[in-house]
Amino acid sequence: MEEKLHLTIDEVHQLAKEALLANGFSEQHAQAIAENVTSGERDGCASHGLYRVLVCVNSLRSGKVSADALPIITTPAPAIVKADAQGGYSLLAHRLALPVLIEQTRKTGIGALAINHCLHFSALWMDIEPLTEAGMVAFAFTPSHAWVAPAGGNRPVFGTNPIAFGWPRKDRSPFIFDLATSMVARGEIELYRRAGKPIPEGWGIDAEGKSTTDAQAVLDGAMLTFGGHKGSALSAMVELIAGPLIGDMTSADSIEFDKGTGSSPRGGELIIAIDPDRFLGDDREQHFSRAEKMFTAIESQGARLPSQRRYQARMRALEEGLDISKKLYDEIKALSYSG
């Protein structure tokens, strides 16, 4: 049985931020990253939680990410916002660009934010939840490293290439899904490897193209898309609209840039926001009530809406705190003294 430590949410945040600062990240970047990984732990998403601090520090020590780059925010067209992260993590660029995106979207009805020249590890639900809180519908897309084989293939071409969608709900948590176009997020396989446990069949293949439940063999081989050719097509779409369309890297470019250092993916992110008030005007409530009828129809038969488990985990964490792997705690704590 793995030993656990019980921490408050504030203690988790402090643990992450201290390690990041000790290794050279600026106050602004350390704060943005620490908030992000703390949110992952709080919401039961360990694959995007504290363990990502180890990857961030490795990326910095490998020379692949800037510790103090100040993003440049521009609006080249009425509905378009661009955030040049200048080689830093995407999180600070996202934080600075978000108010501009919301303002532009309220003016035009639809807006797009391209975050460029960044390293990215964030779960996309964290990037679009603030938009749903502002009453907007939102999409997000980003490539990653080329870890995933296309349907029918046996060599990596795609990243895990997540897609997220958010729908605002009055007086309720938003409807949000955030899914990798691979069978699982890369971080899930990493966690299985760290725990020394076999992964489920069908998550990936080894370097010879054979199915395996060995987490390390998949990490050295290729992950698989969900839904066969359907997931493969969606993954290709993400490559195109969050790579060449916004003037940034594909997953193949990103893995080449990495040079085997195990750093976070380098590339871009595309976020699209829609203001329902501009589409519906005074009829918004009437039409949004149809969405609520659909949600009720789903839940009334015992089905679960996306993110419900995450919201439940959030409530528990806020009330009770979090149980963190002592091994992971010790690894991150050690970074505070070795930076």
Q: Which of 39, 47, 90, 264 is catalytic?
A: 47
Crossing angle for the helix pair 9-22 and 27-42, to the nearest 10 degrees:
140
Q: Which of 18, 41, 129, 188 is catalytic?
A: 188
- 189-210 b/e (C-beta count within 10 Å ≥ 16 → b): bbbbbbeeeebeeebbbbeeee
Q: Which of 117, 60, 122, 64 is nearest to 86 (CA)?
A: 117
Cα 215 → chain centroid: 21
| Annotation marks residue 48 as catalytic | yes
Task: Please state, in angstroms and rounded to a whole number, the distance separating the CA atoms of residues 160 and 152.
Answer: 16
DSSP string, 53-121: HHHHHHHHHTT-S-SSPPPEEEEEETTEEEEE-TTSBHHHHHHHHHHHHHHHHHHHSEEEEEEEEEE--
The tally of CA atoms less than 13 A away on the side-chain side of residue 114 is 20
| Annotation marks residue 251 as catalytic | no
The three state secondary structure string of 257-290 is: HHCCCCCCCEEEEEEEEECHHHHHHHHHHHHHHH
| Annotation marks residue 47 as catalytic | yes
DSSP assignment letter at 191: H
DSSP assignment letter at 220: H
Longest dimension (CA), the chain: 59
Q: Which of 48, 94, 117, 120 is catalytic?
A: 48
Q: What are phi and psi of 126, to 5 degrees?
A: -70, -30
Contact 186, 170 (CB under 8 A): no
Active site residues: 47-48, 188
